[in-house]
Each structure stands twice: as C-alpha cells, then as structure tokens.
Amino acid sequence: MPKYRVYAVIDATKYVGEFEAENEENAEDLAWDNGDFHVSICHHCASEVEIGDPIRMVVEEVEE
C-alpha cells in the first residue's frame, strides 16, 4: 500500500497595526503596503512549522 505525506495548512494571525483610512478596504491596502509581517517561532516549533507569507487581512474598526 502506498504511503503519503500529509501537511495541514494552519491559519494564524498577527497584529499589523492601526491605520487611519476612509473604509476597511483602504485600511487593508495600507496594511499590505506598510505592515510589518515578520514572524518568528521558537526552536522547538521550528522543527514542525514553516512560516509562509500572509494570505489575507482581517480588518476591524477601532472603537474610541
């Protein structure tokens, strides 16, 4: 019987910042253009996880 290697694609989030914008779409554009996407993981996890590029943004309005 054949063997298969199977990988799970795990989603995670990272706080990118607060951006003043006219709407959520503009805030997302600003985040893509100006956000810091650097992520690091501990030595133990590094043997199990590969960090990729961001795939989407989640935008929430800041209540003041």
Report pLDDT digits (tens) over 3-32: 898 888 777 888 888 999 999 999 999 999
pLDDT at position 15: 87
How confident is the model at residue 13, as a pLDDT?
82
CA distance 17 to 32: 11
Q: Which domain holds residue 45?
A: 1-64
Q: Rounded distance, CA 53 to CA 39, Å?
A: 10
Highest mean pLDDT among 1-5, 11-15, 47-51, 60-64: 1-5
pTM summary value: 0.65
Domain count along the chain: 1
Give the C-alpha separation, 34 to 59, whole Å: 14
